[in-house]
Amino acid sequence: MITTAGREENFNYRLWRYDGAPGELIPLLQSAQDHFGYVPRKAINYIAGVTGVPESEVYGVITFYSQFRLQPMGKYVIRACDGTACHVSGSRMIIDTIEDELGIEVGGTTEDGIFTLNTVACIGCCSLAPVIMINDETHGQLTPASVRKLLRELRRREKAAGQKAAAG
């Protein structure tokens, strides 16, 4: 596991190596994303300042590569499998249901910061298709109804925890 100090070292090292080649921006942005979980404004600002690349260009690189995020991930990161086995078992319907239930599209995060939805090619449990992962937990043989139930349960839990925290 990479420690915070290790990540910072990595970032500083990349910055030190930076020689103005456009490709070098990518590892820098990658380091920032590893550190924060996304590329925050302050990192863009910092990278632009140190490298001399205009902020608009740094933004351009971020939006060009889908691996970069400008927003933090939600508390629950959903990875909906859209690999072959899941696809033939109706993963599209599952993904559509999640988008509808959460009011976001693939790649998005709910406004309350609770859910992020991504898709993946195969999680490795094809026999349970269609499958999603929520953080480290696998949920298989889903139907639109069961996935809605699952998401509502998590929402309910989060709400209850929030109320408890507010009351306590």
Summarize as ranges the residues that interact with ligand FES (CB under 6 A).
81, 83-86, 122-126, 129, 131
* Shortest CB 88 distance to ligand FES, Å: 9
Measured over the CA atoms of residue 43, residue 36, residue 76 and residue 138, the dihedral's sign is: positive
| Dist. CA 84–CA 76, nearest whole Å | 24
Decide whether 93 or 126 has the Cβ nearer to ligand FES: 126
Q: Residue 126 CB, nearest distance to ligand FES (Å)? A: 4
Q: Closest approach of Cβ 84 to ligand FES, in Å?
A: 6
CB of 136 to ligand FES, least distance (A): 15
Contacts of 4 by beta carbon, 8 Å cutoff, 6+ apart = 35
Pick the closer one to ligand FES by CB: 74 or 83: 83
Instruction: Give the span between the Cα atoms of 43 and 49, in whole angstroms.
Output: 10
| CA separation for the pair 130, 88 (Å, rounded) | 8
**DSSP 3-state assignment of 1?**
coil
Q: How many CA atoms lie within 13 A of 51 on its CB side?
A: 29
> Nearest approach, Cβ of 58 to ligand FES (angstroms)?
35
- Nearer to ligand FES (CB atom), residue 81 or residue 104: 81
Q: Are 110 and 103 in contact (CB under 8 A)?
A: yes
Residue 28 or 132: the one with the smaller Cβ distance to ligand FES is 132
Of 87 and 155, nearer to ligand FES (C-beta) is 87
